[in-house]
Amino acid sequence: MAQKKNRKPAPAHVCDVLVVGRGNAALCAANAAADRGATVTVLEAAPEDEAGGNSRFAGGVMRFAYDGGRDLAKLCDLPEKEIQETAWDSNTVNEFYDDLYRVTSYRSDPELSEILITRSLDAMVWLRSQGVSFTPNYRHQSAVVDGKRRFFGRMPFWVVGGGAGLVDYLAKTALRKGVEIFYEIRAVSLITDDDGRVVGVEARGRDGRRRFEASAVVLACGGFEANPEMRTRYLGPGWELAKVRGSRFNVGDGLKMALDIGAAPYGNWSGRHATSWERYAPEFGDLSMLESSYRHSFPLSLMINANGKRFVDEGIEFYNYTYAKYGAEVLNQPGQFAYQVFDAKTKPLLRPEYGDKTVTKVVADTLEELAHKMEGVDARAFLETVREFNAAVQTHVPFDHSIKDGRCTKGLALNKSNWANPLDTPPFEAYATTCGITFTFGGVRIVPETGQVLDVNFHPIEGLYAAGEMVGGIFYFNYPAGTGLVSGTVFGRIAGTAAGETAVAERS
Ligand SMILES: Cc1cc2nc3c(=O)[nH]c(=O)nc-3n(C[C@H](O)[C@H](O)[C@H](O)COP(=O)(O)OP(=O)(O)OC[C@H]3O[C@@H](n4cnc5c(N)ncnc54)[C@H](O)[C@@H]3O)c2cc1C
């Protein structure tokens, strides 16, 4: 105890740009600031082997605007034959706008979304220049149809090595540029001078408190998804019961620090990205389990709650436009669980992780047997649900999982819009799911062109920038898959560039 009291505080560390966090947005900011000639320091709350935030847990699928194979060839060396012979789908600027606006109920901030969308391809090309490798995503939402490789879902590319690969490439590049990274040190408050300008942060590590001084601070330290108290406060009662899909280190520190000095909160503070998730998954994401807990094949299923009832239109859209909001629907069911039920016809189309050892599922040769194995479910009501559903499927419409096939049910109180198949072919399988939260939507208000944080009077706070999950105003209610990483790259790069330029100008 006495030893602790007498310990001298470490001397202040001084740099041009201080970046808080070591996920995708932070590393994009760090690399961009270093490219402007700034000396850059990164503070990461996690130990090195757990660093990388949610970005490290990400599948690594990225949504960006592109128009055919030529644009995609900017991201990796595709053979000409592959460019020509693949149906790459498209995600034009207008299609990206349509998707983002539709799923966010037209609430996404127009300036932020314009920058996000129109700079997304350029941001991907920039990532490549920072050492990141991309490859076509044949594993998901891709199929050979009539002899031709087709993509559907508008995300044909992903990062080699997934999110872990992304942060590894970016961190290596940053170190090569001379960026200094401190691990196991948590930023706890912003330091301001007499004029209210941000001049550094106070941080706490294993060796006590330490002061980091900088001309500019970029906060890129995530939302409050791993903080059950804040989840309950902002998202509502019951959210403390959600599993966390990713990092345990994002507990809302950056948001609290910024709000404490008068930053303007912005966006959907009661909104979040949350998905169907393995019911008995660990409390936080586990990197050794890769995608084992994902349950994204639900559009082919019947989702059944404890009352034996369906509660969403499982097939209203491709999964990438509904998965981020259906987790909340599962959380709202009695006992916070649901089963995804399939039969032998759809089994071959399930994502590979449904075959993993850690998956909780029951299998049976009859629906009656399955009903009794689905623990906690009203068996009689479930059988009635299936009977009504099977009778309502429009079987004359051909089934095709690579398009919105219009094979629906008719006459049910809650219809299924696409990919409806009667459950009639054994063996039947039911997968136990709960809600897994990915990240929160509430953030701070920034100047879109610079990433500078605005105060509650909408005046820029000198010296303070934000990026990634901390930026409010982009996502409301829902989210189109693959946009989180792109948002982190676009706004991380913007914030890092502006912070780096300002700091270097001040120094010279
Ligand atoms: C399982 C999963 C799969 C996903 N798949 C995809 C996908 O395929 N495509 C996609 O686009 N998005 C995906 N996402 C979403 C995506 O990961 C996030 O949107 C994105 O990574 C957020 O990046 P970020 O840099 O803002 O935050 P993070 O990557 O979470 O980084 C925040 C960093 O800040 C650190 N930190 C927190 N507090 C402090 C503090 N006080 N001091 C210092 N450091 C601190 C954290 O340790 C962390 O390193 C997925 C997320 C999860 C969880």
In DSSP notation, 10-78 reads PPPEEEEEEEE--SHHHHHHHHHHHHTT--EEEE-SS-GGG-SHHHHHS--B----B-SHHHHTTTS--
Beta strand pairing call for 157-159 and 148-151:
unpaired
Q: What number does the ligand 1 atom closest to the CA of 254 have?
A: 41
Calculated CA dihedral for residues 107, 109, 112, 117, nearest 10 degrees: 40
Place of tokens 């890129």: 220
Partners of residue 161 on adjacent β-strands? none
Q: What number does the ligand 1 atom closest to the CA of 253 have?
A: 41
In b/e form, how buried is each residue of 39-57, taking b as 16+ CB within 10 angstroms?
bbbbbbbbeeebbbbbbbb
Q: Which two tokens stand for residue 332?
A: 């709202």
Count the neighbouring beta carbons within 10 Å of the beta carbon of residue 363.
12
Count the neighbouring beta carbons within 10 Å of the beta carbon of residue 498.
23
Q: What number does the ligand 1 atom closest to the CA of 51 have?
A: 49
Dist CA 144 CA 235 (whole Å): 41
DSSP 128-140: HHTT--EEE--SS
Residue 373 identity: K
Structure confidence at residue 5 (pLDDT): 53
Q: What number does the ligand 1 atom closest to the CA of 55 have?
A: 21
User: Do residues 20 and 488 touch, judged by C-beta distance below 8 A?
Assistant: no
Structure confidence at residue 6 (pLDDT): 58
Q: What number does the ligand 1 atom closest to the CA of 294 have?
A: 1
Structure confidence at residue 275 (pLDDT): 98
Task: Give the residue, out of 54, 202, 251, with the most ligand 1 atoms within 8 A of its beta carbon, to mutate for a pocket test.
Answer: 54
How far is ligand 1, taken at its centre, from the CA of residue 53, in Å? 4
Q: What number does the ligand 1 atom closest to the CA of 60 have?
A: 8
How far is ligand 1, taken at its centre, from the CA of residue 56, in Å? 7
Structure confidence at residue 1 (pLDDT): 42
Nearest protein CA to atom 48 of ligand 1, as residue: 53
Q: Is 211 helix (H, G, I), strand (E, B) or coil?
A: strand
Residue 141 identity: Q
Dist CA 508 CA 503 (whole Å): 9
Nearest protein CA to atom 14 of ligand 1, as residue: 58
Give Cα 469 to chain centroid, integer Å. Answer: 9
Q: Is 239 helix (H, G, I), strand (E, B) or coil?
A: helix
Q: What number does the ligand 1 atom closest to the CA of 486 have?
A: 11
Dist CA 393 CA 417 (whole Å): 10
Dist CA 111 CA 369 (whole Å): 55
Structure confidence at residue 141 (pLDDT): 78
User: Do residues 345 and 425 touch, judged by C-beta distance below 8 A?
Assistant: yes
| pTM exceeds 0.85 | yes
Place of tokens 């998901």: 140
How far is ligand 1, taken at its centre, from the CA of residue 246, in Å? 8
Nearest protein CA to atom 5 of ligand 1, as residue: 58
Tens-level pLDDT at each residue, the chain (508 residues): 444 555 667 789 999 999 999 999 999 999 999 999 999 999 999 999 999 999 999 999 999 999 988 899 999 998 888 888 888 889 999 999 999 999 999 999 999 999 999 999 999 999 999 999 999 998 877 888 888 888 888 999 999 999 999 999 999 999 999 999 999 999 999 999 999 999 999 999 988 999 999 999 999 999 999 999 999 999 999 999 999 999 999 999 999 999 999 999 999 999 999 999 999 999 999 999 889 999 999 999 999 999 999 999 999 999 999 999 999 999 999 999 999 999 999 999 999 999 999 999 999 999 999 999 999 999 999 999 999 999 999 999 999 998 999 999 999 999 999 999 999 999 999 999 999 999 999 999 999 999 999 999 999 999 999 999 999 999 999 999 999 999 999 999 999 999 999 999 998 8
User: Do residues 358 and 289 touch, judged by C-beta distance below 8 A?
Assistant: yes
How far is ligand 1, taken at its centre, from the CA of residue 296, in Å? 20
How far is ligand 1, taken at its centre, from the CA of residue 23, in Å? 6
CB under 6 Å to ligand 1: residues? 20-26, 43-46, 51-55, 57-62, 163, 186-187, 220-222, 245-247, 249-250, 253, 285, 438-439, 468-469, 482-485, 488
Sign of the torsion formed by the C-alpha atoms of 109, 111, 117 and 123: negative
Q: Which two tokens stand for residue 72?
A: 């995609």
Of the candidates 10, 14, 149, 130, which has an alpha carbon nearest to the alpha carbon of residue 84?
149
Place of tokens 């912005």: 266
Dist CA 291 CA 21 (whole Å): 24
* Vertex 375 angle, CA 373 and 378, to 5°: 95
Q: Is 219 helix (H, G, I), strand (E, B) or coil?
A: strand
Nearest protein CA to atom 26 of ligand 1, as residue: 468
Sign of the torsion formed by the C-alpha atoms of 494, 499, 504 and 505: positive
Q: What number does the ligand 1 atom closest to the CA of 249 have?
A: 47
Task: Give the residue, out of 41, 184, 485, 486, with the most ligand 1 atoms within 8 A of its beta carbon, to mutate for a pocket test.
Answer: 485
